[in-house]
Structure 1
Amino acid sequence: MFKTILVHADLSAHAPARIRYAAALAHAHGAQLLGAAMFGVSRAVFPHGYDDRQGSLCASYFQPRADNARRALSRFEAIANELGVAHATRFVCDQADDGLARLARFADLVVLSQDDPGEAMPDMAVHMPEYVILTTGRPVLVVPRTDPAPQSHPKVLVAWDGGKEAAFALSAALPLLRHAAGVTVAAFAGMDGSEEDFRAQQPELLHFLGRHHIHPRIMVRAPRQDTARDLLALADELGCGLLVMGCYGHSKFRELCLGGASRGVLADATIPVLMAH
């Protein structure tokens, strides 16, 4: 059950759609919506928070950043009030990626926007979703840059390969799967024995989901292109409004290394994607 849903609040073109999507989830699950705006400067610079003297040379440089964050929070509050969602705000004195990743550890779900190569903002972190997914230890729902309207009961496609990342994503998505119009669990199996492994896991998988009153359709497909394209094509074929999958990769000294399927889906998805690592 989601009790706290964290959403990134900034001044980007995609922020209103992202906040509305998160607000719809919070309303559906009776959760509090937490809007967080980032100062955009490392917490190492202001370890006790930003509070510079008005009119100082330092404030002349940093105050516009603080003003932008507060404007983003005002826009978040306007949307949350319009939709009647219980909410709170956080002004986070940190860079966007680190600040969100740290705050996300105290939320049940994080809602971010897909990277948009067509929008360059001075404080926008590169590969924000990847960084937060790989470093926070919480599930992240990535809203595509097409800014879709929220669906109350979408069909859901769950990618399954038996790995721990897929298991974490499946468990994290349970509150969404319970409300879904339909759930399909799909495995892409080649000639390496993976289909036999999946078939062997199927009874336990069905039993686990059944205990949560979820009764999915099971599919096994042979790979056609690459896994990312296969997943997105299957989601489109089934009319799904949400894709759930594990994210493979690691983060070391802010250098991100994602698996091909994770990278491809995050780059090309046109439906929301819930990922967990």
Structure 2
Amino acid sequence: MYKTILVHADLSSHAPARMRWAATLAHAHGAHLVGAAMLGVSRTILPHGCHWQPGSIEASYFEPLADNARTALSHFSAIAGEAAVSCESRLVCDLAEDGLARQARSADLVVISQDDPDESVPGTGTRLPEYVILNSARPVLIVPRTDPAPPPAPALAPRILVGWNGSKEASGALAAALPLLQRALAVMVVGLTLPHRSGGEPQFASDQSELSGFLHRHGVPAHFCTREQRHGSGRDLLALAQELDCGLLVMGCFGHSRFHELCVGGATRTILAEATLPVLLAH
């Protein structure tokens, strides 16, 4: 069970959908919901928190930012109230990416939105989802920019697709998703094979027995299948999730070196850019 869920609160157009997803998750799991709104200024500039002298030059700059954060938190409180969940609001004196990564240390799950090119700030050089995933010790649920409404509990994702490649990242994502897998009506674990391996992926076949036992002991009866890679593992996973009408994709991320991901891309970057369904990722 998730007992503490952290959600990013801001004034972006995607914030309401993201916070409704987090509130619905919190309600389904009896979890405490934390809404964190960041000031947008590094904590190195305000090491003692959001304190400045009224009427000062600092106040003229920081107070409007704080007002925006408070407004975002008021929206969060309203959504949490509608869901009737235990909640608290935090105004964090930090940048969004660093603040979320630090606040995640005392949460079970972090809920953020997929990047939206129409709302990105040119020249920042930081993609919030990638940064939070890489710098947070907790799994991250990405709500797509299509802003889907969360389905009614208890099965927030009646059908869940799990991408498996035997890596520690995939194993971490599988374990992190257990509270959701236990509520799903159907769970499919898929291994993608290389085109020249017509007999299937030997490692995936050998993993099935262990994974099946692990999931069964957690009350998750899963189905297993292999698919041949055709358009890259990221796009193949998204296509299979659509084909199977899945409401959630679970996968490990950044299994390649960061340099490799930056230079040639990878499944993680494809998923973060193109997903149209919620994705739970763990690094």
Q: TM-score range by the shorter chain?
A: over 0.9
Distance across 1 between alignment mates of 2:257 and 2:96: 19
Per the alignment, residue 197 of structure 1 pairs with 203
Per the alignment, residue 78 of structure 1 pairs with 78
Distance across 2 between alignment mates of 1:242 and 1:127: 22
Distance across 1 between alignment mates of 2:141 and 2:51: 33
Per the alignment, residue 213 of structure 2 pairs with 207
Per the alignment, residue 92 of structure 2 pairs with 92
> Which amino acid is the alignment partner of residue 168 of structure 1?
G
Q: Do the aligned residues in 2 keep the contact of 1:169 with 1:274 (CA within 8 Å)?
A: yes
Per the alignment, residue 157 of structure 1 pairs with 161
Q: Report the RMSD for the aligned CA atoms in angstroms.
A: 2.0
Q: Do the aligned residues in 2 keep the contact of 1:131 with 1:256 (CA within 8 Å)?
A: no
Per the alignment, residue 179 of structure 1 pairs with 183
Alignment of 1:124-273 (within 5 A): 126-151=126-151, 152=153, 153=155, 154=157, 155-190=159-194, 191=196, 195-248=201-254, 260-273=266-279
Per the alignment, residue 11 of structure 1 pairs with 11
Q: Do the aligned residues in 2 keep the contact of 1:134 with 1:251 (CA within 8 Å)?
A: no
Per the alignment, residue 37 of structure 1 pairs with 37
Distance across 2 between alignment mates of 1:266 and 1:162: 21
Distance across 1 between alignment mates of 2:264 and 2:187: 26
Distance across 1 between alignment mates of 2:55 and 2:49: 18
Q: 1:16 to 1:242 in 2, by over 3 A?
A: same
- Percent identity over the alignment? 60
Q: 1:224 to 1:258 in 2, by over 3 A?
A: closer
3-state SS of paired residue (1:5): strand
Distance across 2 between alignment mates of 1:262 and 1:119: 21
3-state SS of paired residue (1:275): strand
3-state SS of paired residue (1:105): helix
Distance across 1 between alignment mates of 2:221 and 2:28: 21
Residues matched between the structures, number: 275
Q: 1:196 to 1:24 in 2, by over 3 A?
A: same
CA shift digits 1:185-243 (9 cap, x unpaired): 00001246871111111100100000001011111011111111100000000000000
Distance across 2 between alignment mates of 1:218 and 1:104: 32
Stretches of 4+ aligned residues off by more than 4 angstroms = 249-252, 255-259
> Which amino acid is the alignment partner of residue 243 of structure 1?
L
Shift of 1:120: 3.8
Shift of 1:250: 5.9
Structure 2 gaps of 5+ residues are none
Structure 1 gaps of 5+ residues are none
3-state SS of paired residue (1:2): coil
Question: Bigger shift: 190-199 or 174-183?
Answer: 190-199
